[in-house]
Amino acid sequence: MANEAITTAEASERLGVSAQRLRQLITSGDIHAERHGHVWAIDPRSVSDYDRRRRPTAGRSLSPTMAWAAMLSDFGTAIDDELAVAFDLHGTERSRLETLRDRQPGDWRWLAHRRATTERFNTFDAYLDRIASRGDVVRTGVTALSDHDVDLIAHERHLDVYVPTSVASQLTRTMRLEPRSMGNLTLRAVPDLDEADFIMRRDVMPRSVVAVDLLDDADERTARAGADLIQDILDGR
């Protein structure tokens, strides 16, 4: 990130926020930055991404539970009985899910952003292997490209997985993971939901979830692949 990083002053000016507010955004993970001594190097792509998300055209974002119900039902196009029971979907909730099929693919960046807390780290390949082999992680994003025949090539090794919140905290602590905006590990901590067991009971996320995670990527080519995959799902392909 060093060659393209911007200063805190530049980031504050782009967003129209104070230095204190910018520090809060860095701490919360909304803005990706690396600290070099007393100076922050800000990832400009995360600044642009946050600016888009805070001015959404998609309307109110979904709760974590509804976001997962929407993604696991192929954006409201395939609500089966198992999903309805797992998420306790009744008339009103079911009808609301069905209306989501009319959303534009790009809306899902905002609509489902509360599905997990996402953090990126840099770590050793050996640690990536250890995390990938765990039974309580679920592959997604660029790590699941081959599982869903997505026409995209990941040129560098990157592990992108969903984990329970407690596991994310444990891995961060025991492996001393270093936060990096362009790191090789993405941990997506699923909130402590009643439906968490249903969400996590798989080795790889379905293509609807993978599509949203690709859409949420800072790389434009990856995000475009995610949007295309969402459109395919909405079109029944």
pLDDT tens, per residue, the chain with 237 residues: 444 789 999 999 988 888 888 988 888 878 888 888 888 999 888 888 788 777 666 678 899 999 999 999 999 999 999 999 999 998 899 999 999 999 999 899 889 999 999 988 999 999 999 999 999 999 999 999 999 989 888 778 999 999 999 999 999 999 999 888 778 999 999 999 999 999 999 999 999 999 999 998 878 889 899 999 999 999 998
Total domains present in the chain: 2
Give strand pairing partners of 162.
Answer: 138, 188
235 in any annotated domain: no
Same domain, 91 and 70: yes
Same domain, 1 and 35: yes
Same domain, 75 and 103: yes
232 in any annotated domain: no
Same domain, 47 and 93: no
Same domain, 68 and 45: no
Question: What HEC string does 131-165 produce?
Answer: HHCCCCCEECHHHHCHHHCCCCCCCCCCEEEEEEH
228 in any annotated domain: no
CA 37/CA 147 separation, integer angstroms:
42
CA 102/CA 152 separation, integer angstroms:
26
Contacts of 118 (CB under 8 A, 6+ apart): 29, 186, 187, 188, 189, 216
CA 125/CA 133 separation, integer angstroms:
12
For position 202, what pLDDT does the model report? 97
135 in any annotated domain: no
CATH code, domain carrying 11: 1.10.1660
The three-state secondary structure class of 162 is: strand
Same domain, 3 and 42: yes
Can you give the pTM of this predicted structure?
A: 0.81
39 in any annotated domain: yes
Same domain, 1 and 40: yes
119 in any annotated domain: no
Domain that holds residue 88: 64-109
47 in any annotated domain: yes
11 in any annotated domain: yes
CA 232/CA 228 separation, integer angstroms:
6
For position 56, what pLDDT does the model report? 65
